[in-house]
Amino acid sequence: MPREHRKRGKKHKKAPDEQYPIQAEYTQPEPEEPVQEESSEGPSWIVPAQKTQEEVNAEAPFGFVDADVKAYFRTVDVQIRNWQENEEESGGGGGGDVDPNEQKRLFFMAALNEMHGKEKQLATDPDCSVILERMAHSMDDFVRRVFIDSLAGSYDILVRHRFASHVCQTFFNLAADTISRETKGIMPEVPESTEEGELRTLTQLVLDICEELLPDFPALVTDPFASHVVRSLLLLLSPNLSLSEDGSQSAVRSKKSAAWKAKQGQMKSVFDDSKGKGKETLRSTPASFRQMAKRFVEEVRSQLGENETRAMVANKVACPGLQMLLEVEADQDMVNESGSLMDRVTAGLITTCLQDPTADVEESDFLGVLLRDANASHLLEIVVSRCPQDAFDAVWKTYFKGKLARLAHHPVANFVLAKAIERVSEGQLSDLFEELPDTWQKLIRTSRTGVLRAAIDRVAALGSSGFSISEAVYSALCITEPEDKALVVPATLSLLPLPEYRAALANQPAQERPPPHGNRPTHAPQDPLEPKIQGSVLLQSLLRLPEPHNQFVIDSIHAISVDDRIRIAQNSMGSRVFDALLDSPTVPAKMKRQFVMDFIGHYHTLVDDKLGSRVGDRCWAFCDTYLKEKIARSLVAQEQFLAGSFYGNFFARNLNLYLLQRRPEEWRNLQSERKRTQEHQQKQPIQPPPQSKPLPEALVGDERKDRRKRKSRPEDEIDALFNEKLGKRIKKAALVDDIPAEPTSVKSTKVEDQGLEQILGAIRVAPANTGHMKKKRRG
């Protein structure tokens, strides 16, 4: 009712419950509240999504990092990144007596002091864990031992953590060099401390960590966060695995993890390696590590059954760890046993071969499916390469023979077949060439040349002349006429059969052909005649064949015009073919010499490119003194062109045309001496760097000061002339009379105040000025 129509009078008094209905509603408990929640949001047993105490403890099992501490370590990360990105400036930075490594050492000591007591919290923090990984590369052996020891007793939790697991993995990867030095008896100096107790060696620390993880090791292999840590630990315990350095990195990190790690910037030490610990070339491992790796395999055998082991093969998380366990098992000579991991994976194949080596093995549907699985095929590659010979013969007879044409064309199984071809016998290799005469062309068209390349490499390894590789290549490229054999190299590089290669060549004339791939704009369409990486690898394998069998490839290279050779040499894929031609021991020296001489008159065009200059350097290194002089004299008219070329300028330095034109005999002697030195270095085996005993700290300081003095004051011809005629100069300070003389303290003790040393160095003057000032004071 509007205010103006209301009547005046006494208001009606209501009861207390009616007067304050809202208060009465809240004061009285209402049991209908959970019923209302059930009717509107669901049953009463559904709990709203909120973090429980267990989830919070799982994210930070040792507590959260303080905000101020996290901000401090962010500044530490920024400083380390600046040092790593500006390594050249920081490495030679500072002036005079300022040592950049000393500044970095003091900075790291402050960060390590702040880290003390907070290692576990920092390792489980999403931001600080990456900073710890970056700092780990700059830690010395003693600091690494202290950090790893501070996490002792908690590794079962840390390796399962999302962020701390990567910290553990990084330290396990870096521990190999430290353990190698400990095995050789090179131990860092440990300060004596009665409060902290005795610090264990890193070798003992790793063994204790393995003892801590041993009971739950099979569960760690299947854990999504601990699996990569387990693989790094197995690689540390068994460095003799067949995995290469690059392969080991891909085995312990997925593609997604490696891409994320690449975005974090450089991960390397900020200290100068020449003054630091350096990098070990030959690593040594204690015998106890092999025993511990064997215990890991035995623990998996005892805790997992056959079905559980086979279930790990199809698991994307557990399969890489099982691959590493198979490698360790083969390295420990534990494969040829009944009930081994490889026996379980192959459905009892090894047990059958142990009972009767000549018995026919029944084909298993499990292995037939895994042969075509993208994830499990990597494990089968290890099986066919590391299984006993009897088991491999059974696998070849059961799963490969008679199916080679279908497997070679399969997008996944062809990798397993290529790995199996690397260890076949001559009889099994003959089965391959009998079944695949009509399949080579399909492999070229689909760019799946792994089987053909593996067959070529196996023929080269066996040295057998009973297999015609040239016929297989001609069949793959559809070459039937003798005059078409000269097109083997360009057609193989582009991975096009001869009819398609000629069609592409006719549609794209030579004068309109785009520049090499390195100089082609990104928006330009791909050239069908551009060299492919599969074709380049295939030609490199063909050039490593024995001498009679690689002749058709050499003839095809000589049939290519010089302009096309230069175009191939200036391509990232094609240049590798010419490198293989010059490096292959099976290619006759006469053919190599003819290849180098064909470029005479065109070397200035060849080296006017980033990749072409590298091929030119290879040709120059192969030549003898006579051929070098012939090439150099042909480039005298192009001296100005080479000087103006960015890449040709580097090639011109090796020519030394100025010395050749004025003192030819001295130029020849110089080239002969360089050639002998180069051959001597190639024949001399690589020796590990000698380990020298550490010098006392006082001597290290004096030696560093003398080195800086000699480096900062190079002796030139004028200084040498004055020293010879007038004697060595003696520099005196201008205010030498005003400074109290303390000869014993200056010579025997180390100067503590660096600022005073810089002031004394700044006021030094030349000898002539010194005499003038002394004369002025005497007056």
Write phi, then psi, for 77 (nearest 5 degrees).
-65, -40
The token pair that represents 647 in the structure block: 């890449």
- Supply angle C-alpha 238, 119, 84, rounded to 5: 75
pLDDT band at 11 (very low <50, low <70, confident <90, very high): low
SS3 471: helix
CA distance 467 to 513: 38
The token pair that represents 274 in the structure block: 């020449």
What is the mean pLDDT of the segment spanning 218-232?
93
Q: Which of 487, 436, 432 is nearest to 459 (CA)?
A: 432
**Residue 734: its pLDDT value, please?**
39
Taking residue 476's Cβ as centre, other Cβ atoms within 10 Å add up to 24
CA 53 to chain CA mean position, Å: 40
**Residue 50: its pLDDT value, please?**
58
The token pair that represents 544 in the structure block: 């490593």
| Lowest-confidence region among 84-88, 342-346, 726-730 | 726-730
The CA–CA distances, whole Å, from 503 to 499, 516, 529 equal 6, 20, 10
Per-residue pLDDT tens over the stretch 267-288: 788 886 544 344 444 578 888 9
Q: Find the helix or strand (DSSP H, E) in which 233 lies.
A: helix 227-237
CA distance 466 to 106: 68
Q: Which of 175, 173, 73, 81 is nearest to 132 (CA)?
A: 73
**Residue 387: its pLDDT value, please?**
93
**Residue 22: its pLDDT value, please?**
34
The sign of the torsion formed by the CA atoms of 109, 114, 118, 124 equals negative
| Lowest-confidence region among 399-403, 469-473, 695-699 | 695-699
pLDDT tops 50 at residue 336: yes
pLDDT tops 90 at residue 576: yes
The token pair that represents 108 in the structure block: 């790291």
Taking residue 504's Cβ as centre, other Cβ atoms within 10 Å add up to 14
| Half-sphere exposure of residue 642: CA atoms within 13 angstroms, side-chain side | 24
Give me the torsion for CA of 305, 309, 310, 313, rounded to 10°.
170
pLDDT band at 779 (very low <50, low <70, confident <90, very high): very low
**Residue 322: its pLDDT value, please?**
94
Owner of token pair 């209301």:
6
Q: Which of 632, 636, 558 is nearest to 591 (CA)?
A: 558
Taking residue 330's Cβ as centre, other Cβ atoms within 10 Å add up to 22
| Lowest-confidence region among 84-88, 310-314, 772-776 | 772-776
**Residue 248: its pLDDT value, please?**
46
The token pair that represents 414 in the structure block: 């062809």
Question: For residue 544, with 0-12 CB atoms within 10 Å meaning exposed, 13-18 middle and 19 or more buried, which class applies?
Answer: buried
pLDDT tops 50 at residue 257: yes
What is the mean pLDDT of the segment spanning 381-398?
93
pLDDT tops 50 at residue 19: no
Owner of token pair 């990195």:
249
CA distance 711 to 437: 67
Q: Which of 428, 446, 439, 373 is nearest to 405 (CA)?
A: 439
Per-residue pLDDT tens over the stretch 482-501: 888 889 999 999 999 999 99
Query: Residue 43 region, left (φ>0) first, then alpha (ψ -120 to 50), else beta?
Result: beta
What's the N-to-C CA distance of the chain in angstroms? 116
SS3 342: helix
pLDDT tops 70 at residue 3: no
Q: Is residue 761 within 8 Å of residue 97, measured between CB atoms?
A: yes
**Residue 23: its pLDDT value, please?**
37
Mean predicted lDDT score pLDDT of the chain: 78
pLDDT band at 702 (very low <50, low <70, confident <90, very high): very low
645 Cβ contact list (under 8 Å, min separation 6): 604, 607, 608
Write phi, then psi, for 298 (nearest 5 degrees).
-65, -35
**Residue 264: its pLDDT value, please?**
74
Per-residue pLDDT tens over the stretch 109-146: 899 999 999 999 999 999 999 999 999 988 989 999 99
Owner of token pair 């049953």:
43
CA distance 582 to 615: 10
pLDDT tops 50 at residue 37: no
What is the mean pLDDT of the segment spanning 200-228?
93
The token pair that represents 350 in the structure block: 């090894």
**Residue 270: its pLDDT value, please?**
81
CA distance 370 to 96: 66
Per-residue pLDDT tens over the stretch 554-571: 999 999 999 999 999 999
Q: Find the helix or strand (DSSP H, E) in which 473 lies.
A: helix 469-477
**Residue 575: its pLDDT value, please?**
94
CA distance 495 to 526: 14
Residue 465 DSSP code:
S
Q: Which of 237, 342, 343, 337 is nearest to 295 (CA)?
A: 237
What residue ranges do the domains of the chain occupy?
66-89+98-187+199-273+282-303, 730-779
CA distance 502 to 486: 13
Residues pairing with 479 in the sheet: none
The token pair that represents 499 in the structure block: 């009819």
CA distance 653 to 645: 12
Q: Residues in the chain, how many?
A: 779
The token pair that represents 240 in the structure block: 């003799």
The sign of the torsion formed by the CA atoms of 397, 398, 404, 405 equals positive
**Residue 632: its pLDDT value, please?**
92
Q: Is residue 177 within 8 Å of residue 283, measured between CB atoms?
A: yes
Per-residue pLDDT tens over the stretch 59-98: 888 989 999 999 999 999 999 888 877 764 444 444 445 5
Q: Quickly list DSSP for 521-582.
A: -TTSPPPTTS--HHHHHHHHHHHTS-TTTTHHHHHHHHHS-HHHHHHHHTSTTHHHHHHHHH
Owner of token pair 């200290």:
271
**Residue 685: its pLDDT value, please?**
53
Q: Which of 538, 552, 560, 550 is nearest to 493 (CA)?
A: 538
Q: Is residue 392 within 8 Å of residue 423, measured between CB atoms?
A: yes
Owner of token pair 């620390």:
205
26 Cβ contact list (under 8 Å, min separation 6): none
What is the mean pLDDT of the segment spanning 334-357?
90
Q: Is residue 299 within 8 Å of residue 218, measured between CB atoms?
A: yes
Write phi, then psi, for 671 (nearest 5 degrees).
-70, -35
Between helix 574-583 and helix 589-597 the angle, nearest 10°, is 130
pLDDT tops 60 at residue 744: no
CA 113 to chain CA mean position, Å: 31
Q: What is the pTM of this model?
A: 0.74
The CA–CA distances, whole Å, from 34 to 38, 40, 739 equal 6, 10, 91
